[in-house]
Structures are given as C-alpha cells and as structure tokens.
Amino acid sequence: MRERDELTLSHRIDGYLEDLFVPKDPVFEQALQEMARNGLPEINVSPNEGQLLYMLTKLSGARKVLEVGTLGAYSTIWIAKALPPEGRVITLEYSSKHAEVARRNLERAGLSDRVEVRVGAGLATLPKIAEAGEGPFDLFFIDADKPNYPGYLDWALKLSRPGSLILSDNLLRNGDVLNAGEPGSSEANEIIAGYNRQLATDPRLESIIIPLSRGHLDGLGVSVVRS
Ligand SMILES: C[S@@+](CC[C@H](N)C(=O)[O-])C[C@H]1O[C@@H](n2cnc3c(N)ncnc32)[C@H](O)[C@@H]1O
C-alpha cells in the first residue's frame, strides 16, 4: 500500500472507531472549544485515546490519580469521569494560563470537586507531593515535557504501590524512535527511546506500548508496577 493510502486509511479507521465508541458528550467538545478560544496548542490526546484512558482507569479500579501535563484538562476529564465518586485527581501544569483554562473546563464538566490543578514545574511539585505523604497513587498519566519523562517515571515509581498503573504518552513519535542512535536523531528522541528501553527492562515494571494512529503514529505506554 502506498504511504498516502496508508495515511488516508489510518484517518478513516480513527474516524470509524471514534464514531463507534466515543460517547457524544458535549463536555469534551466544549473543553476543546475553550482551549481553542484561549489559544492553547492542539496537543491534547485524541478522542479515541481519551476513551482508552477512560477504559484503563475503569479497568484498574483507580481512586487516586496523578497526571503530569494538564493543558486544558481534556485528558483529565476523561480520567476523572472514570473514577468512583470518592476518586481524586491531582494534575500538574507548568503554565498558569493553561491551568486557568483547565479549571474552567473542570468546573463546566462538574469535576472541580474531584480534580485539583497544581501549577509549577512537575519535577519541583512531585517531591512536595511525596513529602506531604499524598501517595501512593493508583494511576499516573505522564504527558508533559519529554526530556523530563525519566524523572517523572522515577517519581511515579516512588509514589506508587504494587499494581499501580503508569501511562506515558507519545512514546513512538511518528516512528522517529526507530532512528534513535542515528545521525539527526534529536535529544528528545534519544531520551524517549531510552525511556522505552527502561519500560521494557526495568525489573519493577511490566509494560507494553500501544500504537495509536490518526495520520500521525504515536504510542501510549502502559506499565504495571510489579508486586
Ligand atoms: C501534551 S500537553 C498535555 C495534554 C493533556 N494531557 C491532554 O491530553 O489534554 C503537555 C502540557 O505539559 C505542560 N508542561 C510542560 N512542561 C512542564 C513541566 N516541566 N511541568 C509541568 N507541566 C509541564 C505544558 O504546558 C502542556 O500544557
């Protein structure tokens, strides 16, 4: 199959899955509109990946969730909707502008009481969460600046318990990870390729990366902390 045909097919399959499986909840559309109105970048998870996050949260039975990288809280809403009534999410965001949009979106979604947005650099906030004894968390979603992924994983492991789920976004980089170690591979690419090797070999984890495609190929890392 030619590359362009593959791209068209991947878009069509993505639309097919979205039509079949993603609930038509206006809260998600309104969140995306609010993000666009405020000029936030379109780097949120796709609706299909949102539904996957929702399913994984439900399947894991998670009650306490820690997300790194809020943006406008689009992924946060998917995760929070899958929690039981007593469930809680702490989500970390560097940009105060993004955090403001996120809080408005969470308010409109009726989720402000179960989600707290904390502003600051993830690697500065995570030690405070540990010091305050707010762990362990049942589920982590890592989706912020790529060079700090290894640091976020270290903290996720410290703040986890056996059986916690660690989800990490954007691990395939449209196939760029295949070129790691070759001339032209960026520093961020090298870090993510190393991160993927850690997910595969770290004795504390059992992992897989689920490829996700909507024209652009990427992948969600799914790891379980071993007993
Ligand atoms: C890919 S977006 C998150 C998308 C969101 N999870 C979703 O799918 O709706 C990454 C976010 O991480 C934030 N970010 C970047 N560097 C950060 C850091 N050092 N600490 C915390 N957040 C950071 C960015 O401002 C941006 O809002």
What domains are there in the chain, each with its CATH number? 3-225 (3.40.50.150)
Is residue 121 within 6 Å of ligand 1 at its C-beta?
yes
- Among 25, 85, 87, smallest CA distance to 50 is for 25
Q: Which residues of the chain have pLDDT under 70?
A: 1, 3-4, 7
Mutate to test the pocket of ligand 1, among 27, 143, 167 (most ligand atoms within 8 A of CB): 143
To the nearest whole percent, how much of the chain has pLDDT over 70? 97
Is residue 92 within 6 Å of ligand 1 at its C-beta?
yes
Mutate to test the pocket of ligand 1, among 71, 89, 118, 214 (most ligand atoms within 8 A of CB): 71
pLDDT 10s digits, 138-185:
999 999 999 999 999 999 999 999 999 999 999 999 999 999 999 999
- Among 74, 108, 77, 73, smallest CA distance to 93 is for 73
SS3 of residue 1 by DSSP: coil
- Among 173, 175, 176, 169, smallest CA distance to 199 is for 169
What local confidence, expressed as pLDDT, does residue 1 receive? 60
Omega before residue 136 within 30° of 0, cis: yes
